[in-house]
Chain A
Amino acid sequence: MESTEQPRSISGSMQSPRSPSLQPYLSVSVTDPVKLGNGVQAYISYRVITKTNLPEYQGPEKIVIRRYSDFVWLRDRLFEKYKGIFIPPLPEKSAVEKFRFSAEFIEMRRAALDIFVNRIALHPELQHSEDLRTFLQADEETMDRFRFQETGIFKKPADLMQMFRDVQSKVSDAVLGKEKPVEETTAAYEKLKHYIFELENHLAEAQKHAYRLVKRHRELGQSLLDFGKAVKLLGACEGEPTGKAFSDLGTKSELLSIKLQKEAQQVLMNFEEPLKDYVRYVQSIKATIAERGTAFKQHCELAETTKLKEINLDKLMLTRSDKVGEAEIEYREIKAESEEATRRFERIVTRMEEEIVRFQEQKTEEMGVAFHQFAKGQARLACSIADAWKSLLPKLEASSAV
């Protein structure tokens, strides 16, 4: 349900409070991934550490253990309750990689989950969420229970009502002969939708190439390693001075192979992952767009229905029918619902307007960081390659002079 607290902004771990005790802060970190369970049942658990001075929280520091599905629960709850807000995305479930559980994969997931929680903690509205508090503080059994409820087969009553209403509106559509889906058609919103959908395509392509680039680094590293070995063996066959020269060449080649593997990992973590995150974010926005569409439809349909009921009521009043009382109650109920639906829709619109601004600014910042790190990494790599090869030249020169 909607938070009634004032939206005072809480600083997170990224903003350093001037005086820790006065400035409200909420800082979260996801750490210490530990593999638990066996075989198919295996999963990773994380320590989530919360440091805060907010009164709503229990104490200045709290540590809980959470697993991936807990994060999913939090995301789903926020998505339900804060329609119109772009809920930060989660890294993919990835059933395949789970089995391999490489150290790099675990670290990347941890980092992504850390970013996820921090984005929520920094968001002016989301940071006040009760579900967030639950996630950050509840003990493990309580958390399990919550999580089970959410993903259980039994839907909550609210969901059932919603499904019923959907069916109802579909039926009335058919009855009223409405074939076309009801959609917003403002120019600005159309532009936004088009932008988001196109953006996803472009980003996906960029991310694909970024991933390939990581592979290329690994392949180049491998080939340098093999080349180095081969050249050393060749050197062993040759007498001096060629033999020593080949041996040096081979050693350098092997050294550079290691640097390339390292850079591959850096590119994966600091360049490809942010791009993937960008794609996920856009997908989250698409989900919000879908929600807005649903809300708009409801608002329209309920407005229609209200009007019909009003007309009906007036008719009954004119004919002094004894059904007036009933009809009046129905009308008032529907009117309330319609107003509620309109409010919901408008809130989504308002939120989205703010969210878009935040989103663009956030992405510019995050991409800038990613580009900067990528460029630095590539420059460093190229320099160490140049230096390594350069160091061979005096020796080669000396060998030729012999």
Chain B
Amino acid sequence: MMGSENDQESKEKMKSLFLREESDPFTRSDQSNSNYRSAMSTLSDSRHPSIVVTPANSDPLFAPQSRSKPNGGSNRDSSSSSYLEPPSYADVIFSPFDDNSEINGSDDGGGSSRHSQSSDSLSRSPSSLTSDYIKITVSSPQKEQESTNSMIPGGNTYVTYQITTRTNLSEYNGSEFSVRRRFRDVVTLADRLAESYRGFCIPPRPDKSVVESQVMQKQEFVEQRRVALEKYLRRLGSHPVIRKSDELKVFLQAQGKLPLATSTDVASRMLDGAVKLPRQLFGDASSSSVEVVQPARGGGRDFLRLFKELRQSVSNDWGGVKPAVVEEDKEFLEKKEKMYDLEQQIINASQQAESLVKAQQDMGETMGELGLAFIKLTKFENEEAVFNSQRVRANDMKNLATSAVKASRFYRELNSQTVKHLDTLHDYLGLMMAVQGAFADRSSALLTVQTLLSEISSLEGRAEKLEAASAKVFGGDKSRIKKIEELKETIKVTKDSKNVAIREYEQIKENNWCEVERLDRERRADFLNMMKGFVVSQVGYAEKIANVWTKVAEETSQYNRESS
């Protein structure tokens, strides 16, 4: 009678959606969207959202003049009859799982950023005013084998992913191309970028997830990684400077083996692993603020200097407290402090957003189950009816049940929207890590400078002592003089290094400043878009749900017992 099979199906779907959500609510929407994504990808290079159901002028956001209606216009009587107020957000919103987040580039100006906000999963604000774009997709994971001779039959297998890029940036040769890369290549890319773009807020790459790769099902893990890689590459693509970098270009375009120097620096590899270790041990797989001043990110640096710097910053611990760098720039310290606070609040907000999503999900689920229980009751009463009063009751129950099921569906749709919007918070956690990285670059560059300065001063001290000692020897001390010569040579070289280090430090400071400015601007816009998107979808679905229940209230109005 009620199509209870469909409801069972949707109930199953509900359950499976919920189960996946338990691991990470923010990848969930991507997973369930992937079918729609491939369908959408052909439409995606338009700058206009392909999902808005009604003409633009019914959306008060597009047409400011119609906005006055919701507040002024219709006189609402406080009783039950009409809760619809034109323009109704219920009309603006939209089919479920609309995903228009393919475009990484900038839309023109502020106007289209509003276009994209209601549907964009990464509500990115325009990063430039041109119509450049770069769209990156990661797909088709495949198992491959190492071609090196191996005693072990079957050899070493690894997974490669197809990385497809569509772009109109002039730095790239061509507008559409595809390569296959493995995760190790991504690590290489990340390391090379970290070296070349010190001081920049570079989005953090996906974790190596050693523990997870053992524990999870292979398929699930590969899928999770695919999603993470895609997110990472898209973030790189949306960075105005990095999207044009040689490293990224080569990664996205060069066929065959990735022509970037691999990370042979064992020390930094070790450090990378070691820093990640506490997080793995304490089960914090999500980003957290582990503040460690790592000496010289990236490889290819002087091994010896590395350890000297380690010694210098000896007060580090894994809990991440203050490095031994003497930072005197008050403005910088304040900014750092602010960034730390901001990060804490974003973490907190992101957690509460997760709880909110779960609560919405649960509400929808229980509402649906209630509806199903009443559908069963309806069927039962109708089958067993002896009296007319039973049939009347069965009918009343049916109205309630169908509305409950409808409302349940709306809650779930609302929730997938909410996830998309509040995902912005989660995204910014990653970006806050990038800021940390940028600040760490600055600190480590300063550390280098200070190390060199102290080295110079100790070398000069030794030279002085030798000169004084040699002067006491009449006629000159050949061996000592030779030593002094060598020392003076070393001092000169070290001073050159120091000058280079200072220049680099200044450059990094400059990079820091620009990046932080840009980030602040973008974050402001992104957060506002997020709020708007969140609020609009809440309004739209609340109205839809209100309609559903108003109908039932009308259908049961004969039972209204309220006096007056």
From B83, B384, B399, B556, give the contact of A191 (CB < 8 A).
B384
B374 within 8 A of A: yes
Given A245-B531, A249-B531, A379-B83, decide whether A393 and B397 contact each other with a Cβ distance below 8 A: no
A244 to B487, CA, bound (A): 61
A229 to B373, CA, bound (A): 36
Number of interface residues of A (CB under 8 A): 69
From A229, A356, A393, give the contact of B535 (CB < 8 A).
A393
SS of A interface (majority) = helix
Max chain B C-beta neighbours (<10 A), residue from A236, A365, A371, A375: A375
A389 CB contacts on chain B under 8 angstroms = 535, 538-539, 542
B17 within 8 A of A: no
Chain B binder among A73-81, A219-227, A280-288, A312-320: A219-227
A203 to B374, CA, bound (A): 9
A22 within 8 A of B: no
B282 within 8 A of A: no
A28 to B342, CA, bound (A): 62
Interface residues of B in 359-416 (CB under 8 A from A): 359-360, 362-363, 366-367, 369-370, 373-374, 376-377, 380, 384, 386-387, 389-390, 392-393, 396-397, 399-400, 403, 407
Indicate if the CB atoms of B348 and A230 lie closer than 8 Å.
yes
Shortest C-beta distance, A302 to chain B (Å), equals 31
Indicate if the CB atoms of B89 and A386 lie closer than 8 Å.
yes
Given A202-B376, A365-B559, A372-B560, decide whether A378 and B532 contact each other with a Cβ distance below 8 A: no
Interface residues of A in 52-75 (CB under 8 A from B): none
What is the chain A residue whose CB lies nearest that of B538? A389
B40 within 8 A of A: no
Max chain B C-beta neighbours (<10 A), residue from A205, A206, A238, A397: A206
From A242, A365, A367, A382, give the contact of B527 (CB < 8 A).
A242
What is the chain B residue whose CB lies nearest that of A218? B359
B384 CB contacts on chain A under 8 angstroms = 191, 195, 198
B114 within 8 A of A: yes
Indicate if the CB atoms of A375 and B403 lie closer than 8 Å.
yes
B543 within 8 A of A: yes
A100 to B545, CA, bound (A): 35
Indicate if the CB atoms of B528 and A242 lie closer than 8 Å.
yes
What is the chain A residue whose CB lies nearest that of B341? A237
A246 within 8 A of B: yes
Shortest C-beta distance, B31 to chain A (Å), equals 23
Chain A binder among B258-266, B308-316, B547-555: B547-555
A115 CB contacts on chain B under 8 angstroms = none
Indicate if the CB atoms of A371 and B400 lie closer than 8 Å.
yes
Indicate if the CB atoms of B559 and A372 lie closer than 8 Å.
yes
A12 to B3, CA, bound (A): 44
A17 within 8 A of B: no
B355 within 8 A of A: yes
B546 within 8 A of A: yes
A215 CB contacts on chain B under 8 angstroms = 366
Shortest C-beta distance, A142 to chain B (Å), equals 37
From A229, A364, A378, give the contact of B549 (CB < 8 A).
A378
B86 CB contacts on chain A under 8 angstroms = none
A246 to B338, CA, bound (A): 17
Indicate if the CB atoms of B358 and A223 lie closer than 8 Å.
yes
A210 to B546, CA, bound (A): 19
A202 CB contacts on chain B under 8 angstroms = 373, 376-377, 380
A375 to B403, CA, bound (A): 9
Indicate if the CB atoms of B110 and A392 lie closer than 8 Å.
no
From B363, B393, B531, give the contact of A216 (CB < 8 A).
B363
A336 within 8 A of B: no
From A205, A368, A374, A382, give the contact of B376 (CB < 8 A).
A205
B558 within 8 A of A: yes
B341 CB contacts on chain A under 8 angstroms = 237
SS of B interface (majority) = helix
Given A368-B396, A372-B556, decide whether A393 and B389 contact each other with a Cβ distance below 8 A: no
A367 CB contacts on chain B under 8 angstroms = 393, 396-397
What is the chain B residue whose CB lies nearest that of A394? B67
Indicate if the CB atoms of B550 and A379 lie closer than 8 Å.
yes
B351 within 8 A of A: yes
B345 within 8 A of A: yes
Given A237-B341, A238-B524, A386-B543, decide whether A375 and B356 contact each other with a Cβ distance below 8 A: no
What is the chain A residue whose CB lies nearest that of B556? A372
Chain B window 506-544, contacts with chain A (Cβ cutoff 8 Å), 1 for yes, 0 for no: 000000000000001001110111011011101100110
A17 to B558, CA, bound (A): 22
From A227, A369, A397, give the contact of B352 (CB < 8 A).
A227
What is the chain B residue whose CB lies nearest that of A194? B384
Indicate if the CB atoms of A226 and B355 lie closer than 8 Å.
yes
A144 to B78, CA, bound (A): 50
Indicate if the CB atoms of A390 and B539 lie closer than 8 Å.
yes
Shortest C-beta distance, A114 to chain B (Å), equals 15
What is the chain B residue whose CB lies nearest that of A374? B400
B397 CB contacts on chain A under 8 angstroms = 367, 371
Indicate if the CB atoms of B366 and A394 lie closer than 8 Å.
no
Chain B window 339-350, contacts with chain A (Cβ cutoff 8 Å), 1 for yes, 0 for no: 001100110110
B80 within 8 A of A: yes
Max chain B C-beta neighbours (<10 A), residue from A224, A368, A397: A368
What is the chain A residue whose CB lies nearest that of B83? A383
A152 to B374, CA, bound (A): 43
A198 to B380, CA, bound (A): 9
A199 CB contacts on chain B under 8 angstroms = 380
Given A230-B348, A369-B559, A389-B539, decide whether A364 and B359 contact each other with a Cβ distance below 8 A: no
Interface residues of A in 351-402 (CB under 8 A from B): 356-357, 360-361, 363-365, 367-369, 371-372, 374-376, 378-380, 382-383, 385-386, 389-390, 392-394, 396-397, 399-401
B228 within 8 A of A: no
B481 within 8 A of A: no
A208 to B372, CA, bound (A): 12
B227 within 8 A of A: no
B561 within 8 A of A: yes
The interface of chain B, by Cβ under 8 A from chain A, is 60-61, 64, 67, 70-71, 80, 83, 89, 110, 114, 338, 341-342, 345-346, 348-349, 351-353, 355-356, 358-360, 362-363, 366-367, 369-370, 373-374, 376-377, 380, 384, 386-387, 389-390, 392-393, 396-397, 399-400, 403, 407, 520, 523-525, 527-529, 531-532, 534-536, 538-539, 542-543, 545-546, 549-550, 552-553, 556-561
Closest 3 CB pairs of A and B: A382-B546, A368-B559, A386-B542
Between-chain CB contacts (< 8 Å), 30 pairs: A191-B386, A205-B376, A206-B370, A206-B374, A209-B366, A209-B373, A212-B369, A215-B366, A220-B362, A224-B356, A227-B355, A227-B356, A229-B352, A230-B345, A238-B342, A249-B535, A357-B387, A361-B389, A367-B393, A376-B80, A379-B549, A379-B550, A383-B543, A386-B539, A386-B546, A389-B538, A390-B70, A390-B539, A397-B532, A400-B110
Q: A206-B377, A363-B393 are in contact. List 20 more A-B contacts (CB 8 A).
A: A199-B380, A205-B376, A209-B366, A213-B367, A213-B370, A220-B362, A223-B358, A230-B345, A233-B349, A234-B349, A239-B524, A369-B559, A371-B552, A378-B549, A383-B543, A386-B539, A390-B535, A396-B535, A400-B114, A400-B532
